Amino acid sequence: MSEGKLHGKVAIVTGGGSGIGEATCERLGRAGASVVVADINTKTAEATADRIRDDGGTAIAVRFDLLDTASIEALAQATMDEYGRIDVLHNNAVHNPPHVFPKDQGILEMDSAVWDETFAGNARGTMEVTRAVVPHMIAGGDGGSIINTSSGAGQMGQMTMSAYGPSKGAINAFTRYAALQFAPHRIRCNALILPLVLTKGLESLFPKETIDEVVSRTLLKEPTRPHDVAAVVEFLASDDARLITGKLWEI
């Protein structure tokens, strides 16, 4: 594989076994990064890492649980044990499981447990992964780039998803705090404000008519796909974006 713009960098991608994370892992691998595919699903993480290696790249798979502090700390340590440094963190994993998603309705109808679990996975999970990784970035002395996956749901009100949306809004605020606090170490932090992204999982969840209606309201009338997001992550991870931090990127 030829040297890309991320040659020599080590990148952790959470939720890397499928969807946006899978596409991002493969893109970063092609750009020359050594990729840590972090996912709760060991099988899909291993499959993604195998494809990167088959394509001439470098990758390992690490199982981790966004709700488990010990596994988050183990993810950071496993990366250091394997590669000795961390340059890029894509906080992409999301906690929106089948037993929670249908119950995330209006505020008056929502059980507090739905709120608590959603925030534990999305807002707290993003914070804990960042907290586990940044000390290694600081010790490396070369700065770093953190890219958080957020959502348009965190920017506006909706009739449902009353826990998911605010949890993504919390990630937006956290991004700005992290950008300010880590700037002296040349560690940048940005967030991606995503629309409906046509992952395989999403296409199986919503009827085609619903997806088509959402896409019809976009300016370019084009669906956003995982590889579109991966391209922006690659840019923000690279030195081309060395002066960009604290920004919320709407895609």
Sign, CA dihedral 40-210-171-228, equals: positive
pLDDT digits (tens, 9 = 90+) for 129-154: 999 999 999 999 999 999 999 999 89
Please check whether residue 86 lies inside any domain of the structure: yes
**By C-alpha distance, which of 37, 28, 146 is closest to 91?**
146
CATH of the domain at 122: 3.40.50.720
Q: If you average pLDDT over residues 171-179, what whole number do you get?
A: 98
Please answer whether residues 8 and 242 qualify as being in contact, where contact means their C-beta atoms are separated by less than 8 angstroms: no
Please check whether residue 4 lies inside any domain of the structure: no
Cα–Cα distance, 185 to 182 (Å, whole number): 6
Q: If you average pLDDT over residues 160-175, what whole number do you get?
A: 96
- Apex 78 CA angle, 228 and 23, nearest 5: 15
Please answer whether residues 174 and 116 qualify as being in contact, where contact means their C-beta atoms are separated by less than 8 angstroms: no
Place of tokens 């449902």: 160
Place of tokens 């690490």: 62
Collapse the DSSP code of 19 into the 3-class scheme (helix H, G, I; strand E, B; otherwise coil) and give the result.
helix
What residues make up the domain containing 199?
Answer: 10-244
The residue from 83, 164, 174, 182 that is catalytic is 164
Q: If you average pLDDT over residues 192-220, what whole number do you get?
A: 88
The helix (H) or strand (E) run that includes residue 169 is helix 164-182
- Apex 187 CA angle, 233 and 8, nearest 5: 65
> pTM of the entire structure?
0.95
Please check whether residue 251 lies inside any domain of the structure: no
Number of domains in the chain: 1
1: pLDDT strictly greater than 80: no
Please answer whether residues 245 and 188 qualify as being in contact, where contact means their C-beta atoms are separated by less than 8 angstroms: yes
Please check whether residue 51 lies inside any domain of the structure: yes
> For residue 140, what pLDDT is reported?
97
The reply to whether 83 belongs to the active site is no
- pLDDT tier, 3 (very low <50, low <70, confident <90, very high otherwise): confident
Please answer whether residues 54 and 30 qualify as being in contact, where contact means their C-beta atoms are separated by less than 8 angstroms: no
Please check whether residue 249 lies inside any domain of the structure: no
Count of Cβ atoms closer than 10 Å to residue 192 Cβ: 25
Cα–Cα distance, 26 to 55 (Å, whole number): 9
Please check whether residue 88 lies inside any domain of the structure: yes
Please check whether residue 1 lies inside any domain of the structure: no
